[in-house]
Amino acid sequence: MRARIAVLPGDGIGPEVIAEARACLAAVAQRFGHELELTELPFGGAAIDAHRDPLPPATLAACRAADAVLLGAIGGPKWSAPDAALRPESGLLRLRKELGVYANLRPVRVHAALADASTLKPEVLAGVDLVFVRELTGGIYFGEKRRDATSASDLCEYHVEEIERIVRAAARLARERRRALTSIDKANVLETSRLWRAVTTRVMREEFPDVALEHMLVDAAAMHLIHRPRDFDVLVTENMFGDILTDEASMLAGSLGLLPSASLGEGRRGVYEPIHGSAPDIAGRGVANPCGAILSGALLLRHSLGLAREAHALERAVEAALASGARTADLCAGRPGSLGTRAMGEAVLSRLPTPG
């Protein structure tokens, strides 16, 4: 197979973790007989500095022409002043909108070898294997914003068709797994959530009667994610709730640095990125965990390129590295012997199987 991948390293630790993800994708391509053309492009704060635009036209054009987009991280104190005219985050929101990627998949699975990396008891974590499906292009992040000297407002708005398509995406995924879908809202307070619940109920009843549906208020979901996380299979929710809850859920696995994500639309092209931020406090030190970026590459192989066997091989290599005791500082509280970013990437590469 031949494919073009637009690579957006971004800011902070983004370039460091993306370098390891690139190396793993290149190794997979070589071992399985594929040709991947990976092209790095300016994006985020780095693009603001170079082009006065977090998403330069050339970068957007290349992303549109690519089969998939691999993204590192964006942002940092340099671009976060309250009165900043340009912010890296605006480029990310625009990229998602322009590419039509509305469904953000964030899998959370607890590796047995890392049961001690979480602050929760091992018996709570045993068997945790869930996926969040977060609506990505609507809601309060995209609504009309107003501010004056004495007040401010952000409009949260959802349309029926936006809810229908994200629920269908989540239900299709649940049908491939354990056939259980939890829809998260705040229907006791918010009109957008009442619409969300009504539409979800109708879509599931009419189109997915074989998938069990549970409605849950967002505050209850936040509690049960810690109290009984293994009871969840697929969870679907609106943009802001999903943003917050997936960061909470990352702590089940022990670190933000472990978790990948895929942002998908109607076609095969997607945007793949680790869920962590740019971590400017550790940028340039070579200590960031690259596993989330590497596993995002595995999702890219599976969802955009249709290479399930290759994706599984890369995921197994990460598991094998962790099982062998390979750890970055975020997984071992900085104890002596923790691996740097490159060494962790090499630990994964060394365990990548050769097809036979």
Name the residues annotated as catalytic: 141, 186, 219, 243, 247
Our CA angle for 93, 95, 96, nearest 5°, is 65
How many other C-beta atoms can be found within 10 angstroms of the C-beta atom of residue 346?
17
CA distance linking residue 319 with residue 130, whole number of Å: 17
Neighbouring C-beta atoms of residue 43, cutoff 10 Å = 31
Give the strand pairing for 103-109 and 129-135: antiparallel
Give the strand order in the sheet containing 68-73. 35-40, 2-10, 68-73, 270-274, 260-264, 103-109, 129-135, 234-237, 180-185, 212-217
CB burial readout 207-240, b (16+ within 10 A) else e:
ebeebebebbbbeebbeebeeebeebbbbbbbbb
Bridge partners (DSSP) of residue 272 are: 70, 262
Distance CA 285, CA 266 (A): 39
Which single residue is written with the structure tokens 């409605």? 215
Burial of 247 (0-12, 13-18, 19+ CB in 10 A): middle
Distance CA 281, CA 68 (A): 29
Task: Name the amino acid, one letter, at 247.
Answer: D
Distance CA(64)–CA(119), nearest Å, equals 41
Task: Phi first, then psi: give them for residue 68, nearest 5 degrees.
Answer: -165, 160
∠18-21-23 over CA atoms, to 5°?
Answer: 110
Q: What element of type H or E holds 58?
A: helix 57-65
